[in-house]
Each structure stands twice: as C-alpha cells, then as structure tokens.
Amino acid sequence: MRIPQIKLSIRRKMLIAFLCLALGPILLLGNLSLQRMERALRAQIAEGLQAEVVTAGNSIENYLNGVRRDVRSLARFLQRRLNEEMNTDQWELIQNEFLAAIMVENDYYQIRFIAADGYEQLRINNIDGKAVVVPESELQDKGDRYYVQEAFHCTAGETYVSHLDLNVELGRIEEPNRLVVRVAAPIIDPSGKTAGLIIINVFGKKLLSSLKYLLNVDGTRILLLNQNRQFIKMEKQGGKINFFSAETSKLENLAQIVPLLPRPDEDSNVVVMKPDILALASVSAGPDRLWYLAIAYPQKYLYAELTQLKKTYLLSFLLLALLATILAIVAARRFSLPIRHLSHFAKAVAGGNYKAISSITSRDEFGELSSALNEMAEVQKQTHTELLNWNASLKEEVEKKVAALSRSQLEAEAAEKLMMTLEKQLLQANRLSSLGLLSATVAHEIGNPLAGMRVKLQLIQRRKDLDQKLQLDITKMLNLVDRLGDFLGHLTGYLVPQQNQVREQTDISQVLRELEFILCEEADRNKIKLYLHLPPEPLLVCSKAQQLHQIFMNLILNALQACDENGQVDVYASSSEGEVEISICDNGCGLPEELADQLFEPLITSKSEGTGLGLAIVKQLTSELGGEVKLKNRSEGGVEASIHFPEGGSGCAGEF
C-alpha cells in the first residue's frame, strides 16, 4: 500500500522547526527535573511514613506495657492480702482497689480475679464509662479458656498477653462482635504456688484510639493484625472515624499484604498498593505475641504536592509553547510572505496573465528573484502573442477543412439511411409477393377438393337410413369444411382486406369448447393436458365465429406444439369493465429473446417446420375486431398469450 505524501508549506516547516528547537530542550530538561523532584519527594514521603508507622507501633507497645504494669501492681496488691480466712472487709478492700483501677484507666473493659480452679472470684465491668461489680451469681468458670490455661504457666513477675480475638461470655461470642486483648499476671502464694490470676480486658479499638492523630484525611485506614487470623480496622470516612473487626480472610488484598509483613528483626516496609501507600511494621505485644500494624494512606493526598507541581509545570510549558508558537508564526510569516507573493506571481503568469508584475523591491535575494521573474514574464508575453497569431491562422484553415468533411459525412449518412430503408421495403415487398402467391396457390389447390368434399357430404347427409350419431358427425364435418373454406378466403384476403363483412354476437366460451373438441385428440396424442377455465355466463363479442376459431386455433396449437410430453396448456376467459380477456398459458420452452420484436411479422417463425403466417394472421384478425394480442414469457417457464376484445352488446349486428 502506497503511503500518501504530506505536502508542507515553508511557513509550516519553519514553524515546526522553531517549535522543536524552542520547546524540545524545555520539555526534556523539565521532565528530567520533574522526575528527580518526584523521586526525592517519594523518598521523603516513604521515610516519613516509615517513621510514623514505627512511632505508632511503639505507641501500641507502650500502651501494652502500661497495662502490664497495672496488672502486675494489682497482682502484688492481691498477693499481700489474699489468705485462706478472707473476711468481708478484706474482699471489699480488694473490690475497691479494682474499682479505682478501672475508673482511672477508662479504656479497660474488665478487671477479673480468677482463682486457681479457674472460677471467677471477682469481676468489674466498664459499661459506658461506669464501673459495675458483677454479682456473684453471674460469675463464670473460665478454666477452659485458652488464655487462662496459658496464663497459669507464667512465673512470678511475668505477664501474659492473649491473642486479639472475640470475647466469649456464657459460652457464646459477645454481641456486637468486638476484638479483645487480655493481659494477665499470676498471684503467687508464700509456698510458691499460683493462687490465681489477675486479668485486664482491653478492647482492640482502644489500642488504635491513641493513633487517631494519623487519620488526618478521609480514606486513611489503620489495621492491627495478629497471629490468630483476626484484625481490627480504624478508618476515616466523611470526617467520621469508624471501627471494623473480623477475620483476616475478609481483609482486602490479603494475599498481597501477607508476603510484605516484616519479621521482628526487620525494619518497617512502605509499598505502593494502588490506590494507597501502605506502611507496615511489627508490634511486639509480649512473649511469643507478634502483631502487625498497617497504615494505608491515599496516594492522592500524599502526592497532592507532586500533582500540583506537575500541573504547574504543565501550565508553564503550555504558556511557553503558546509564546513560542506566536513568535514562530510571526517569524515564519515575515519570511514566507515574499515567497508566497512570488508564488502567486508565477501562478498568474503560468495562467496567462502576462500583465502581472512582481512588486518586491527589497535589497536581498527576494528582490533579485523578483526582477528576474519580471524579465521572464516579459519574454513569455512576447512569445505568447506570436503563438496567438499563428494559432488564429491555423484555426481558420482547420475550420475550412472540417466544414468540408462534415458536408461529406452528412451526405454519406443520408445515403446509407436511404439504402437501408429501400432494402427493408424491398424485403417486405418480396415477402408479401411470396405470401400472395402462396395464398393463391393454397386456395386453388385446397379449395377445389373442399368443394367436392362438401357436395359429397351433403349427399350423404340427405340419406334417410343414417342414424342420429352419424348424422351429427357429418354436420360437424360440414362445419369444419365451411371453416376451412372461410380460412382460405381470409388467407387470400390477408393482402387485400375484405370489406363489408357481417358481424354478429359470438360467445367466446362456445368457440373455445368447440376448439377443445377439435384439439383434444392432438393434445392426447402428445400426452399434453388441455384445460379450459370458463365462467358459466356467456362471453359475447362482435365477430364472426370463424375469425375467433382461427385466432384461438393458432394460439392453442402454438401452445401445444411448444410443450414437451406431459406438458400442460391452460385457457382462461373472463370479462371485466366492458372487456373480455382470454389468456392461453403453457409450460413449454418459451419465446426466443432475439425474435421478441418480430413475432407478428409474416414469414417470421422459431419452428423448424413453421410457415411464419399463424401469428401474423392472429394479429390482423384481432386488430380487425378492435382487440389486442400480446405474447410474453412467464417467470415460471413457458409463454402467456393474452387477447383483449371489447364486449359485444345487443347492437352488435351489422357490417365492418
């Protein structure tokens, strides 16, 4: 495929070159500077995020260390006062200490004392900031809880931190679902045995509440994950802070986050996970307790400064591009204007305007070129004048020769047309002469035997010993002899039309039934089906029956001869709006296209043994009766002959 070439004017080439030279370095240096600034800004943001997530992780660890100090303090307090003979005042003192502790640290959800058998001895609940002592009847056996069993393995001075999981009360998960972390310390009696546990329950969202200062924009999310496949999320949306806790299987992008979680001995990670930037750090919650803190910051806020920088750079580049374009257009115009003027001048001279003059008078190359072009135009003008004079004389000579040739050609065409007309008339005259001779010969050779046959049949008919059937057949034969005689008369009158013929009302249906009787033997012999489709009422026209016989006999015989074995010919007759229509349809070979315009001319036939007179006689008889006949090929095969006659009323009698 050929690539079309683009044509650029000098002005456009200069404009493109100037813009490339002016804007190319600016674009290149600007992009390089922008990329360096972007890398620096991204590194600065990543460093800041690492510091923030590490600080946040330390904040959670410090918070848990404070809870551990409180639980150890309560364990030492209870260890000093716990004995086998505890009275009511002693239990009340312990209860008040628990109440004071939960009121001081409002983040604590529960403070419990669990005996060595795993049964709760004392529990204080924090309900909406109010410390409530749980009645003894509602205290439960917690010995089957994993955190109770694991905490009993702690030695003196140690603390235990549970997984971050859902709280279970009375054997069921507490509603609404809230993640809880439990910090426990053992109570050691003087014999060195574990006498019980002090357990402080803290809601998971309390661990994240101290990090609210990090939620400075909508879309920021802080997640705390533990090894027990649980997580809690704090998120800011629409200016509100929401908490959500569930299993890690419901965490978005979990498969991408897990490989990025740092080990305790690794530094924090900062990764891009569109549309956020994720900062990850590990949190040591206690012995064998490793949690993970993840802070997701929306990129559009972190990179807002970078985005603004890009917009400023783009706007500056567009302004420079606009300024450079204006300067390039002005410079290109001043340079290309003389070239355009010279180009128009050259086109004017080439178009025949030899009076055009280049008006550039500058003292540079354009002025020199203008003077040279003016001199060339003057020479061209003189040459053009000489050519016009020579052309005028040559044109005059040519016109004389053309006029002479035109006269000769017109005379030759007129002679050729006259010759063709004479040949056609001679051919028609020859045909008519042959037809007249043929008609006279046929009438003479057939007319005499027919006259003898008629006399003989009339003598036989007068015999009295004939039966009725034979008498009827002889009558039909006499009618056929009369029709044949009329046909011979009409054949001889084809060239000299007969005048003053008597017309009468004739029923076309009756004519067609008589022809069926005559032609049925021809149809049966060739195994062709002949069907008449006639209305019950008469179809009257003004004509002699013999003429209608001759018309339909020719047409039906043509249809029968055109059909092959097992063919079919259908004859339809009907009347409508003062007109009688007869259609004769066959399923034969059809009409040849080359004879379509000559079918009704005499001596024209498509049959190997035809005379070419049948359709010519049909055409003449139909016209004499005021009718019309047409032939056409059918779309399904075969030929349809349609004949139209005016209906004949009671005033039909007379001559025509």
* For residue 2, pLDDT beyond 60: no
* Cα separation, 470 vs 478, whole angstroms: 12
* For residue 353, pLDDT beyond 80: no
Is residue 339 within 8 A of residue 10, CB to CB? The reply is yes
Tokens 């009375």: give the residue. Answer: 170
Q: What's the confidence (pLDDT) of residue 503?
A: 72
Is residue 534 within 8 A of residue 509, CB to CB? The reply is yes
Give me the count of residues in the chain: 656
pLDDT band (50, 70, 90) for residue 437: low
For residues 246-273, give the mean pLDDT.
73
Q: What's the confidence (pLDDT) of residue 220?
A: 84
Q: Is the peptide bond before 176 cis (omega within 30 degrees of 0)?
A: yes
pTM score over 0.85: no
Span 267-322, pLDDT tens digits: 777 887 777 888 888 888 777 778 888 888 887 776 777 777 778 878 887 887 78
Amino acid type, 191: S
Q: What's the confidence (pLDDT) of residue 289?
A: 78
* For residue 422, pLDDT beyond 70: no
For residue 306, the SS3 value is helix
Measured over the CA atoms of residue 140, residue 142, residue 147 and residue 148, the dihedral's sign is positive
Structural domains of the chain, ranges and CATH numbers in brackets: 10-38+318-341 (no CATH), 62-164+182-200 (3.30.450.20), 499-655 (3.30.565.10)
* For residue 493, pLDDT beyond 60: no
Average pLDDT taken over every residue of the chain: 79
* For residue 434, pLDDT beyond 60: no
Q: Is the peptide bond before 275 cis (omega within 30 degrees of 0)?
A: yes
* For residue 1, pLDDT beyond 60: no
* For residue 510, pLDDT beyond 50: yes
For residues 448-457, give the mean pLDDT.
72
Question: Is pLDDT larger for residue 581 or for residue 518?
Answer: 581
86, β-bridge pairs = none
For residues 426-441, give the mean pLDDT.
57
Q: What's the confidence (pLDDT) of residue 112?
A: 93
Span 599-652, pLDDT tens digits: 777 766 666 555 667 788 888 888 888 899 999 999 888 999 999 999 876 667
* For residue 439, pLDDT beyond 80: no
Q: What's the confidence (pLDDT) of residue 4?
A: 59
User: DSSP letters along 548-559, please?
Assistant: HHHHHHHHHHHH
* For residue 656, pLDDT beyond 50: no
Q: What's the confidence (pLDDT) of residue 374?
A: 76
Span 460-470, pLDDT tens digits: 877 777 787 88
HEC letters along 383-412: HHHHHHHHHHHHHHHHHHHHHHHHHHHHHH
* Cα separation, 584 vs 2, whole angstroms: 63
Is residue 317 within 8 A of residue 96, CB to CB? The reply is no
Is residue 324 within 8 A of residue 302, CB to CB? The reply is no
Is residue 366 within 8 A of residue 374, CB to CB? The reply is no
C-alpha 240: how far from its chain's center?
Answer: 47
What b/e readout covers 270-303, taking b as 16+ CB neighbours within 10 angstroms? Answer: beeeeebbbbbbbbbbbeebebbbbbbbbbeebb
Q: What's the confidence (pLDDT) of residue 496?
A: 46
Span 568-603, pLDDT tens digits: 999 999 998 889 999 999 998 888 887 767 777 776
* For residue 495, pLDDT beyond 50: no
573, β-bridge pairs = 582
Q: Residues of the chain with pLDDT > 70: what percent?
A: 83
* For residue 497, pLDDT beyond 50: no
Minimum mean pLDDT among 346-350, 490-494, 634-638: which range? 490-494
* Phi then psi dihedrals of residue 268, to 5 deg: -70, 155
Q: What's the confidence (pLDDT) of residue 433?
A: 53
For residues 513-521, give the mean pLDDT.
84
Q: What's the confidence (pLDDT) of residue 22?
A: 66
Span 155-172, pLDDT tens digits: 888 899 988 887 777 667
Least Cα distance to 101 among 201, 188, 197, 186 occurs for: 201
Outline where 572-636 has alpha helix (H).
614-624
Span 32-62, pLDDT tens digits: 877 787 787 777 777 888 888 888 888 888 8
* For residue 514, pLDDT beyond 60: yes
Span 100-133, pLDDT tens digits: 888 888 888 899 999 999 999 999 998 888 889 9
Q: What's the confidence (pLDDT) of residue 58?
A: 87
* Cα separation, 57 vs 293, whole angstroms: 7
* For residue 399, pLDDT beyond 80: yes
Q: What's the confidence (pLDDT) of residue 255?
A: 64
* For residue 189, pLDDT beyond 80: yes
